[in-house]
Amino acid sequence: MNKILNKYRFTVKPSISEGESALELARTIGLHPLAYQELPFNPEYSIYAGRLTPEKLSNATADEMYWKIRQELIFRHTGEHPYEISGPDALNFLQKIFPRDISKIKIGRCSYQFACYHDGGMITDGILLRIDQNKYWFAQAEGDMFSWYKAQAEGLNVKIDEPNVWVSQVQGPRSMELLDLLTKTNISSNWKYFDWKEVNISGEKTIISRSGFSNELGWEIYFRPENNIEKLGDLILEEGSKLGMIITATPVFRCRRIEAGLLSAGQDFTNKTNPYSVGLGKFVDIDKENFIGKEALKKANKKCRTWGIRIDGGTAKRGKSLKINSKVVGEVTSSTWSPYQVCGVGIVHMYNSDLGPGTVLDVDCANGKIHKGELCKLPMYDTKGEIVRGINKDVPKEPSPWSGIKKK
């Protein structure tokens, strides 16, 4: 890519339409029905799974958003795109699409899933909800699954539909407190991680799941066409604001999901990586009956080449920024600054599987300088996932700086 273009970030900015002209982008790119809540904060949008999602808001810095999700709670309108798969052959169809065993998912439960091409390369990932015996929702990340579904459904009694469902996330240590207030119940006391429920909020029946993209305590709400979405959204924001909630954009998740090792589709994994190389091999049930990509994955190298990285005093540039003795040895796929660890953090993909945690590298950083970085395991902390499950309820009051590269 041209060096000049590399200096620019391209986003979509809303503007007031003239006369009776329609919103041009709204014809082809979905706009979250609660996007009006973002308009006071000079939003800039990117495109995610065919929908607009806020990339930048002026109400808080990236660091302020980070501490909100770690200490209080946030409201985030996402570009997640749910599709509905239903019919007598729905289970058999999904068993074909996903490498992970779908038959184990009970009604009322969610499951992390990803799909692969026949050569084992990855398409996208997301959360699968089993809605009924023969009905599922797959809330997908970036990627074209709808066309893939259609191409693979031939000969099966299955219906692939877009139910026009929109997803927002409420994340942070006070998220369950807010949910109990909204539902006027004590739902949070016995609600397991990756459960979903239909709840009543101010007379509106809506589906919520005990999930999110932050690895913090939280839940997602699925707005259906029959819901009064504005009523629900405004109530969540009104009651949440009393607990410290703010509307947030992409930066709120970037650092936290990197620290937690949550991979971003099309970025940390692509059609050129397989699940094993990016550390997702545990989600492949290789002994399951035929699924797309099985033969390729059986033959694939099972060694992980994706790790976290901490950088001393700098933020890594994405791309071929990792070197040892001036030789490029890997790529930075995600990068930002951690206000908690007080260092640069990132997710990297190494060319050599022998280079793993503890490896020290030279890292090209955003400030134009070369800083030292050290590979580490993911997640970077909370390795047992006790925060997201509500087991660890300690709220960080201040940073916990990385101790730095150990001298050998």
* Residue 404's CATH number: 2.40.30.110
Share above pLDDT 70 across residues of the chain, in percent, rounded to a whole number: 96
Do 132 and 281 lie in one domain? The reply is yes
Domain boundary among 304, 337, 359: 304
CA-CA distance, 293 to 119, in Å (whole number)? 6
CA-CA distance, 385 to 368, in Å (whole number)? 35
The average pLDDT across 116-125 equals: 97
Do 294 and 331 lie in one domain? The reply is no
Residue 390 lies in a domain: no
Residue 3 lies in a domain: no
Do 368 and 229 lie in one domain? The reply is no
169, 175 contact by CB (below 8 A): no
Which residues does residue 374 pair with via DSSP β-bridges, in sequence order? 310, 360
Residue whose C-alpha is closest to residue 215's, from 380, 346, 388, 75: 388
Residue 225 lies in a domain: yes
Do 204 and 340 lie in one domain? The reply is no
- The angle formed by the CA atoms of residues 122, 1 and 53, to the nearest 5 degrees, is 55
List the beta strands (DSSP E) in 39-150.
44-48, 51-56, 74-77, 81-86, 110-116, 122-132, 135-140
Residue 4 lies in a domain: no
Residue 21 lies in a domain: no
- Checking if the pLDDT of 408 tops 70, the result is no
CA-CA distance, 77 to 190, in Å (whole number)? 26
Do 164 and 281 lie in one domain? The reply is yes
Measured in degrees and rounded to the nearest 5, phi and psi for residue 67 equal -70, -30
Tokens of 266: 């099309």
Question: In the prediction, which pLDDT does 30 show?
Answer: 84
Largest Cα separation within the chain, whole Å, is: 68
What is the extent of the structural domain holding 343? 305-383+396-408
Question: In the prediction, which pLDDT does 13 show?
Answer: 84
Residue the block writes with tokens 């904060």: 41
Do 297 and 314 lie in one domain? The reply is no
237, 37 contact by CB (below 8 A): yes
The average pLDDT across 349-378 equals: 96
Element (H, E) at 237: helix 229-241
For residue 152, the domain's CATH number is 3.30.1360.120
Least confident of 17-26, 119-128, 256-265, 301-310: 17-26
Do 118 and 267 lie in one domain? The reply is yes
Residue 253 lies in a domain: yes
CA-CA distance, 333 to 346, in Å (whole number)? 7
Question: In the prediction, which pLDDT does 166 show?
Answer: 97
Domain boundary among 304, 321, 346: 304
Do 195 and 152 lie in one domain? The reply is yes
Domain boundary among 275, 304, 333: 304
Do 60 and 151 lie in one domain? The reply is yes
Strands, sheet with 44-48, edge to edge from the N-terminal-most edge strand: 30-31, 51-56, 44-48
The average pLDDT across 199-210 equals: 97
Residue 80 lies in a domain: yes
Using omega within 30 degrees of 0 as the cis cutoff, is the peptide bond preceding 379 cis? yes
Residue 388 lies in a domain: no
CA-CA distance, 307 to 334, in Å (whole number)? 11
- Checking if the pLDDT of 400 tops 90, the result is yes
Residue scoring higher pLDDT (163 or 4):
163
In the chain, how many domains are there?
2
CA-CA distance, 68 to 251, in Å (whole number)? 12
- Checking if the pLDDT of 152 tops 60, the result is yes
